[in-house]
Amino acid sequence: MNLPEPKQILFISQRLAFLDAIISPEWEYRYYSFNHSWDLNQQMASMRDGSGNEYFILFENNNCGIKVYNKQQNEECQKFITEQRETDNHFIRNFLNEPAFSIPYSTFLSFWESGQKRWKSYGNEKNMLLHIFSDPQKKYFDFSKEYYEKEIPMKLINKIFSSESMKSDVILKINREIDLDEFTVEAQEIGLNLI
């Protein structure tokens, strides 16, 4: 699997979380989430499908780490995790020791380290959970139609993916019942601006 560079994954992750927040104001029913201020100099994207499958993506400066757990894949990353938990690499060590990511339950791990300009991956690379990063607009259209039983016009999805600042009229076309004041707080956590 060819993952895009971290800045593209970050861009896509913010838009996936933004779309999910529009469609599903109730956080616990969302697939995609994004926290623009996870920690000092860190941003975090996640996906949880409610059936145990999940991914977490941590962005820190020019570093990025991805953890995936897919119940349908049995390959694990335990050897790598055991070897690297005490590594001198600050980013990888902190990522592997982050309790929120449930690292012992990993079927795929990948790291982009500052200065290396490529992904180093461990575990099963044929990971369906990360395919959203290839043609995300079309895949999100299909996903939302199946999961939320809502067909969002492709042109609205494309507008979300082509903007840095999001217009409230586009948001209301996707979900006319949304409370824009509450949603503004969600958008700020995701790191996107409403205009």
pLDDT, one tens digit per residue, over 55-74 is 999 999 889 999 999 887 76
Count CB neighbours of 84 within 10 A.
Answer: 18
Average pLDDT over residues 111-126: 83
User: 1 pLDDT exceeds 90?
Assistant: no
Residue 78 parent element (H or E): helix 78-84
Tell me: the pLDDT tens digits for 124-177? 767 778 999 999 999 999 999 999 988 999 999 999 998 766 788 899 999 999
Query: Considering the chain, what is the average pLDDT of its residues?
Result: 89
What 53-57 contacts at long range (C-beta under 8 Å, 24+ apart), as own/partner pairs, is: 53/129, 54/102, 54/129, 55/129, 55/130, 56/100, 56/101, 57/9, 57/13
pTM of the full structure: 0.92
What CA–CA distance (Å, rounded) separates 13 from 141? 15
Helix, strand or coil, per DSSP, at residue 120:
strand
Name the token pair of 82.
Answer: 């055991």
Residue 119 parent element (H or E): strand 119-123
